[in-house]
Amino acid sequence: MKITHVLAIGAAALSVAACTTNPITGRSSLQIANNSEILTMSAQEYKTTLSSSKVITGTADAKRVVSVGNRIKSAAEKYYQSIGRSADLASYNWEFNLLQSNELNAWCMPGGKVAVYSGILPVTKNDNGLAVVMGHEVSHALAGHGNERISQAMVAQYGGSILGSTISNAQLAGIFEKAYPIGSQVALLKYGRNQESEADKMGLYLMSMAGYDPREAIPFWNRMEASSTGNKQPQFLSTHPNPETRISDIQKNLPQALEYYKAAGGKI
């Protein structure tokens, strides 16, 4: 058998063995990295980033970030419990922080480490707009996008050699550092286009489950797009679908989101 055939078979077997299916969107992804190690590194990196940033606490805006984040997180936990997958979330240790920065940005690291920059709040305008952002970021964590990104890098770097074995902690740490830059550079982290689209969809559903009006998603994304200056987009939009595709996808997913919103007590 040719080596290329062996590698192809190995890659296929690896994909089948480590395929993870998102219970909300139905999307499957390759997640083969050691999740425990990823969460440990994520927690440390998040702590380092906060220590080098100005964290806003005690203000109305800071409390809103925590409140909206926790409400969406709780809705997700309720949903996962309803489908018998509470164990999926057992290792999450959620944190929601507001950081002082003029950037229109927010980000999430594995395990539920979320940061919102104060510069995006004038664009969110209200709790519904903030819920669009927070739902999107919570979704990155719940969907395991960090593990997926790292797994893709592992396969690209080590190929079929990782089949049936594991890479060292040092090798994993090296990949993690490339995926999640240190300190303030973490604001530059980018998820793939498919991951961003999934976070849009999943976030829309989660905010609805939490009782936030999903119809506010379209005005929010329009405001974000309008905030672009010249050819420069806010970092938050850098790897997102183009505006037309995003709005079209939201409109397609809105009927299901409204069902979740109605079930949560929202008025249609």
pLDDT digits (tens, 9 = 90+) for 196-236: 999 999 999 999 999 999 999 999 999 999 987 655 666 56
SS3 call for 22: coil
For the stretch 122-170, pLDDT in tens is: 999 999 999 999 999 999 999 999 889 888 888 777 765 554 445 666 7
Could you identify the residue written with the tokens 């925590």? 66
Q: Are 196 and 246 in contact (CB under 8 A)?
A: no
Considering the candidates 77, 103, 137, 177, report the single residue annotated as catalytic: 137
| Stretch (H or E) spanning 58 | none
How many angstroms separate the CA atoms of 87 and 77, rounded?
10
Active site residue 137: yes
pLDDT higher than 60, residue 180: yes
Residue 138 lies in a domain: yes
Tokens of 53: 């940033």
The parent domain of residue 79 ranges over 3-263
- Total domain count, the chain: 1
Cα dihedral angle (206, 208, 213, 214), rounded to 10 degrees?
A: 60
How many angstroms separate the CA atoms of 151 and 33, rounded?
6
- The pTM of the full predicted model, rounded to 2 decimals, is 0.85
How many angstroms separate the CA atoms of 1 and 53, rounded?
55
How many angstroms separate the CA atoms of 168 and 258, rounded?
46
How many angstroms separate the CA atoms of 194 and 116, rounded?
22
Residue 93 lies in a domain: yes
Residue 91 lies in a domain: yes
For the stretch 72-106, pLDDT in tens is: 999 999 999 999 999 999 999 999 999 999 999 99
Residue 13 lies in a domain: yes
Residue 268 lies in a domain: no
